[in-house]
Chain A
């Protein structure tokens, strides 16, 4: 009898404990649909936010991550992946969710500081040790005999930013649109391989030894330097583009699941000092001036412009330059 009673007590305690654990687990869950390169950042940020949220509200929050190419994630969310928040590497991927099915409200940029962009990066050059081709600025990339590695602007946001940066370089120097066109044509004629993604371009340049210069995001360049050390040198051009990493609550799914408040807090905390420090550690340029100042030595100052101010927004740039039959396609049709 006694044994049975003991057993019952144990079973009861066990159930109770289990219920507690389950309860602690079930406080709240968020799903963040994000792009590939942000994986490391959110791996560090999510526990930081969970700690902060627990301290503030006593609630335990579990954050699930999903990573893929940015526009592929946008398509998944549009097709029914019920993500509470999205973090993309191009504003057009969030605009797409505004237009298709109204998953996100049009004013998403105004709901968070800095246009809902917690951290940025920019396109810079990576050259081989000693810079044998003497590459200093965008001009040098279009010179004959220089092989440039850039991911395909048709498939990679990374390549699109680089193309727009090269274009703007000419325009800011006072060049006409025709001159800018000629310049990017000459530049892309120097590109021997159009990898479909930024990481593919890195492999082509760093592992296969193809090309004299790789143009890619600063955070990727820092990573290559860290992994592969001294075989390469970073070159900062005189001017480059702000590669934004915008975030937004997905209104439709957050409202459906009742997670709006938490989702908003999750994104808001990205602009806290702690999160900005994490961004800087992950090689992204922080937005908060106090943190940016601390890391000024790491992130070299250069003239930066945004796609919005130079091209009137991503949608316009996409249509004129990258859609089928656009200016980028014409480079290759003229070549024939």
Chain B
């Protein structure tokens, strides 16, 4: 009842058509291809599925893929925010150039990114040659995976936070300052609540991208079983054995886990937005 009422009062007409289109479009582009993965997995028995996805090697790869993506997204949330801040709040020469550079990880073929990063961080590379004598190995370790995912995820945070920061009214900050707030208080109580939803979106996007990333990671990871093998690589390995069901089993676990995590992040964002709304 309330559903019908709400649609009748909607300002824009064509709700039914728009919803129909949305559902059809999502089905064609997202749901049908993804459901194929579930159907393929259904050809396995429950025991076979369970033993495939709980094999020690597969579990290790899940830990690495999700763990590295999480750390990389956190790093990006912090430094991406700083980059966005600098780009919005300061005027300096070459700003347009830096602004354009932020998008490069989007445009670059991931394999190129992987090869370039490996070249820089391996023992003979520009950065690697200084790090490795100090016992800090990046290329061919799980840490290398984090580096690659950080590179890939940067634009997501910057591009989601930037417009929100630009829209922020400076008068609010000035008012807070006049009322005696310290700089930290202004940041924590005025700015952060306003940009938090956007920041969480950027974090979620960077995280989701990192979980599924393959091209850039395989070059820098070293791919050692149990140590630096990402879950997407195990999918490829299964395909190499023509084990389609096994490959989709891993894919299904990744899909479900990613969906749950993204759903949780969305809830968090909803909470942050409500809280931000109450404050302003």
Q: At the interface, yes or no: B27 with Cβ under 8 Å from chain A?
A: no
Within 8 A of A (CB), among B228-268: 233, 236-243, 246
Q: At the interface, yes or no: A291 with Cβ under 8 Å from chain B?
A: no
A194 touches B223 (CB 8 A): yes
The chain A residue sitting closest to B125, CB to CB, is: A208
Residues of B near A322 (CB, < 8 A) are 241
- Tell me, in angstroms, the Cα distance from A239 to B251 when the chains sit together: 41
Q: In which size bucket is the chain A interface?
A: 20 to 34
Of the residues A75, A196, A332, contact of B218 by C-beta under 8 Å: A196
Residues of B near A210 (CB, < 8 A) are 122-124
Q: At the interface, yes or no: A71 with Cβ under 8 Å from chain B?
A: yes
A193 touches B140 (CB 8 A): yes
A71 touches B223 (CB 8 A): no
User: What's the tally of chain B residues with a CB closer than 8 Å to chain A?
Assistant: 29
A209 touches B240 (CB 8 A): no
> A75-B239, A192-B140, A324-B246 are known contacts. Are A332 and B225 too (CB-CB below 8 A)?
yes
Residues of B near A192 (CB, < 8 A) are 140, 222
What's the minimum C-beta distance from A163 to chain B, rounded to whole angstroms? 14
- A166-208 CB mask vs B (1 if < 8 Å, else 0) is 0000000000000000000000000011111000100100011
- B207-223 CB mask vs A (1 if < 8 Å, else 0) is 00000000000110011
- Tell me, in angstroms, the Cα distance from A163 to B137 when the chains sit together: 27
Q: At the interface, yes or no: A336 with Cβ under 8 Å from chain B?
A: yes
Q: At the interface, yes or no: A329 with Cβ under 8 Å from chain B?
A: yes
Residues of A near B239 (CB, < 8 A) are 71-72, 75
> A207-B119, A208-B122 are known contacts. Are A155 and B242 too (CB-CB below 8 A)?
no
Q: At the interface, yes or no: A87 with Cβ under 8 Å from chain B?
A: no
Residues of A near B192 (CB, < 8 A) are none
Q: At the interface, yes or no: B41 with Cβ under 8 Å from chain A?
A: no
What's the minimum C-beta distance from B191 to chain A, rounded to whole angstroms? 44
Residues of B near A98 (CB, < 8 A) are none
A193 touches B223 (CB 8 A): yes
A-B CB proximity, top 7 nearest? A332-B225, A209-B124, A194-B223, A154-B237, A208-B122, A193-B222, A193-B140
A/B interface sample: 18 pairs, CB < 8 A: A71-B239, A71-B240, A155-B240, A192-B222, A194-B222, A194-B225, A195-B223, A196-B233, A207-B119, A208-B118, A208-B122, A208-B139, A209-B124, A210-B124, A324-B55, A324-B241, A333-B57, A336-B56
- If A71-B239, A75-B239 are given as contacts, then 12 extra A-B residue pairs at C-beta distance below 8 Å, sorted by A number, are A96-B242, A152-B223, A154-B237, A155-B240, A193-B140, A193-B224, A196-B233, A200-B218, A208-B118, A208-B122, A318-B241, A333-B57
